[in-house]
Structure 1
Amino acid sequence: MKSTCAYGVAPRALPVIGHALPLLRDPLGFLAELPRHGDLVQVRVGRYRAVVVCDPELTRQVLRDDRTFDKGGPLYDRIRELTGNGLASCPYSDHRRQRRLLQPAFHPARMPGYAETMRRQVTAATGAWTDGEAVDAIAEMHGISARTTIVTMFGRDPARAAADGDLARLMEDFTVVVAGIPRRTLLPPSADRLPTPANLRYDRARARLRTAIDRIVAGQRSGELHDGDLLSMLLSAGHDPPGNGGPGGPGLTDEEIADQLVTFFAAGTENTGTTLAWALHLLARHPHVARRMRAEVDTVLDGAPAASLEHLPALKLTTAVVTEALRLYPPAWVLTRTTTEDTRLGGHPIPAGTAVVYSAYLLHRRPDLFPDPERFDPDRWMTGSTPRRSAFVPFGGGPRKCIGDVFALTEATLVLATVSAGWELRPVDDRPVRPVPRLALSPQELPMRTVARARSATAANPSSRR
């Protein structure tokens, strides 16, 4: 693709390295400026060129046509180092089969059991807090999400073993790999072979992570299956005749199952935990919204110590807070596709093999789509003039939309409500909290102080509950 194409061209390109410097220094600011230069804007890093889609309807076209705009590009090449050929990263040719086999795990009938797991994990975590202590809100929310994901994936016994010892190592290795992916995306593959400390840490952590997951799969394959956990469902997926309610067809191999488990662990821990951390930060910086949300939680829970699935429909403002956090800080802030054939997009020819980039962060910050886009305003999701859903893509869209979007939204809302029922988290200091564009868009650091809330009259006197 030549730079003389009809697309807009991003400014500030330097000889040889192209837009590498602004992407490394301020990738979020660089993305936010691109809509000024057209609906399709070309960027360049070294010899690599990509077309960034800046329009919501064109983004929707890309997401809906997953055969033409297939998963690919340097970012997915690096993500596959972590997730292998899992559902989120596999090509079009594998996706339909994998989705069909995995869909039963996310059937609405399973949500009550998942919600109970969420309730137990957040109750255990917040039960260990003490009034006035300083906590790392990112680590706390990731811990809740990780334990919820592990119990959901492996059932009770493996989860207990992980919680007793393996979880800390699993989380440490996972953090090293996730932190290394964006840096490696901007470097040539030849740089992977350099024996730098960062490369050595990355390679060792990735190897340990995959070995641990492979060992769990092999152990459960040889043992008795536990009904209800995700691993058991994956092990049996495809082996039931279609007439018995199963998906039928060939099942998943152990390697494929391990890929799915790493994928779900990554999404369930990194994305949900990060969203919860941002929600707590935004509430702490906007106390008027926090007071309203706590009033809603107190009314809906009616003295119950934790939120349950039955409370979810009435937690409207709490849900809106989560949604607005996803708008401002979408974990999957930038993703790539690769065209598999010559096509057209927005009237422009797109040759086969073109890297196409879309960004939830870019779309969510467009003032023509979300008025006053920098402002934290959960009420924008509670009025009759709801923002355009086609422009809100924290979970992607089309056939490749995140299979666990309902699971993630349910967990984030129930955890946030339960935390708010018993605690107020306040900033430790006035230092600004900056987003760091790693694999997920995470706060750089988020120290907060726990303040226990006074128990309500209904909590103190259960007989007064309706």
Structure 2
Amino acid sequence: MWISLVYLCLYWAFFLLLGLLLVVFLAYCAYVKYIHMKYDHIPGPPRDSFILGHSSFVVKASDNYKVMHDLFLRWAEEYGPVYRTNFLHHVLLTCTSPDSIKEYLMSPTCPKDPYAYNRLFYLFGKRFLGKGLLTNPDHNQWYKQRRIMDPAFSHKYLMEMIGVFNERAEQLMEQLAEKADGKQQVSLHAAINRVTLDVITKVAFGLELGLVEGNKTAFPNAISLVLKGMIDYMKNPFMEYMPKHWSFIRQVQESADLLRKTGRKCIMQRKQAMLNGEELPKDILTKILQCAEQENGLDDEIMLDNFITFFIAGQETTANQLSFTVMELTRQPEITRRLRAELDEVIGFKRDISFDDIANLTYMTQVLKESLRIYPPAPGTSRYIKDDDVIEGIRIPGGVSVNLNTYIMGRMDKFFPDPFKFDPERFHPSAPKPYYCYFPFALGPRSCLGQVFSQLEAKVVLGKLLQRFEFELVPGQSYEIMDTGTLRPRDGVVCTLRPRETASQ
């Protein structure tokens, strides 16, 4: 009898739970329907699923690290300056209206999208980008950090770093010279990656990795793993509950741990050196800690958040920009010729490139800007529209995220005629400036802190490479892009090289 009663209780408990789940599911469906009714007056592609919305389109478009932004570009061409996509109960708007780009990026009242950026606080349970400069949606918290960080990235302070840029780039040139026989194959993306990582660790944190010299460390692989983990997690936040992903997730967690432990050690050692009155290296970390002291300090965990941000953004995006530029130059002989002529005039046979030299590399600036237009390593950003608004005559209910994408706008004919033609003349000093349709480093108060640093480094490395070598892609290399959290050349820009002075012999 007691057994029967237990079974009866379990029976009713099961159906009660099933009923409760059904009620919750129906309530959720009703909420999804409400969201649809609230935003469906905004143009957009048909949903593939009532609940999943456009998720399947995006997953398919990004399969095998394809560039999902090409799908967003196609939809922008088809549905106009603002269109809607649905993911579960979330709505994401994509905006290509220059006036709205100006409004959302230039105003401090438009915060970063908290839904998107808060998801990067942790990565599979490990604190990742936290609340650093890149991810903190709170303007007041962000502003305090930016005020502390700004002096370390001023022109005056960065001028002192040019020597490190030259030193590390020169080491790379010496290595490439040993392989410049026109036969050996060199992955320039991997080689440039080593330089940019060596530079950021030295200039920012006083670390000597010696990657260009051939030292083996876990940092390059750790950065690749956390970037891959980041994009996989953004596409599938439930993957950490799926056993088939656990081995990969463990590697990502260990990589995130390595970066944070290294950062914590650097910060603690430098703070102790300051307390002891020791002579401090003139790097970015020292400047930040000195400024933080004047501003009543900065939380150590937030310092670590920014350490991770500098590690990734300061290395990965510059390496990718340079690699894309070299890749494009292999099929642009006239542009390459003009670049070399400018370098010959400004630098000649000098070993080191000075700060003043960089200021005179006008055509190189145009080439790098055009590279960022068509191949932006960081394709875009997002903002949160809190209150009701109007975009190009379309009513936008408040409480929605908007995607602002420089990759999309840089490839639209109405903003850049013949957009797939690589044409540095678009950025000639006398050419009209793009009106809020070009923002590879974002715009406004939350524009990239490290953009000057990045472009100084890019000009030194590219200048030396063009000064010394002729290069061409090996057969079978493509010009395709892959999306691994940042955009990078899919095939690694594998080239053969020859010394420039013997190229015509």
With structure 2 as the length reference, what TM-score do the two structures score? Answer: 0.82
State how 1:438-449 maps to structure 2 within 5 Å.
438-446=484-492, 447-449=494-496
Q: How far apart are the structure 2 equivalents of 1:10 and 1:225?
A: 61
Query: CA deviation digits over 1:333-370, x for unaligned, max 9?
Result: 13222334444444444444312111110111111111
Q: 1:4-153 residue pairs with structure 2 within 5 A?
A: 4-11=39-46, 13-26=48-61, 27-35=68-76, 36-74=78-116, 77-78=119-120, 81=123, 82-91=128-137, 92-129=139-176, 130=178, 131-132=180-181, 133-153=184-204
2:205 to 146, 154, 158: 154
**Aligned with 1:83: secondary structure?**
coil
Residue 390 of structure 1 aligns to a residue in which SS?
coil
**Cα distance per residue 1:371-430 (max 9 Å; x no partner):** 100111112212633341421100001110111111112211221111110112210114
2:169 counterpart letter in structure 1: V
1:204, distance to aligned residue in structure 2 (A): 1.9
Quote the RMSD (CA, aligned, Å): 2.4
Alpha carbons 1:142, 1:273 under 8 Å: kept? yes
AA of the residue aligned to 1:194: M
- The answer to whether structure 1 residue 183 and structure 2 residue 232 are counterparts is yes
In structure 1, distance between residues paired with 2:248 and 2:290? 39
SS at match of 1:386: coil
Amino acid at match of 1:209: L
Could you say what secondary structure the match of 2:84 adopts? strand
Aligned residues: 445
Shift in alpha-carbon separation, 1:49–1:334, aligned structure 2, 3 A: same
Counterparts of 2:171 and 2:93 in 1: how far apart (Å)? 46
Match runs of 1:377-388 below 5 Å? 377-382=423-428, 384-388=430-434
The residue number in structure 2 matching 1:461 is none
Q: Which sections of structure 2, spanning at least 5 residues, go unmatched?
A: 1-34, 62-67
Q: Report 1:304-319 matches (<5 A).
A: 304-319=350-365
Q: Residues 221-370 of structure 1: matches in 2 within 5 Å?
A: 221-223=271-273, 224=278, 226-239=280-293, 248-370=294-416
1:162–1:316 distance in 2 versus 1, CA, 3 Å: closer
After superposition, the Cα gap between the structure-2 partners of 1:392 and 1:321, relative to the gap in structure 1 and judged at 3 Å, is: same
Q: Select which of 463, 470, 490 maps to 1:424.
A: 470
C-alpha change, 1:319 and 1:163, in structure 2 (3 Å) is closer
Cα distance in 1 for partners of 2:189, 2:101 equals: 31
SS of the residue aligned with 2:292?
coil
Check the 8 A contact 1:13/1:44 in 2, yes or no. no
Report SS of the residue matched to 1:373: coil
- Provide the C-alpha distance between the structure 1 equivalents of 2:478 and 2:211, rounded to a whole number of angstroms: 35
Unaligned runs of 5+ in 1: 240-247, 457-466
What corresponds to 1:209 in structure 2?
259
On the 8 A contact 1:56/1:363 being kept in 2, the answer is no
The AA in structure 1 aligned to 2:54 is H
For residues 361 and 401 of structure 2, what CA distance do their matches in structure 1 show? 41
Per-residue deviation, 1:306: 3.7
Q: Residues 53-96 of structure 1, C-alpha deviation per residue, up to 9 Å, x if partnerless?
A: 12222112111223333342335523664322111111223111
Structure 1: distance between partners of 2:216 and 2:205: 13
Compute the TM-score of the two structures, normalised by the length of structure 1.
0.89
* Rg comparison, structure with higher value: 2
Alpha-carbon deviation of 1:39? 1.6
The one-letter amino acid paired with 1:315 is L
Whether the 8 Å contact between 2:117 and 2:136 is mirrored in structure 1 is: no
2:5 matched to which residue of 1? none
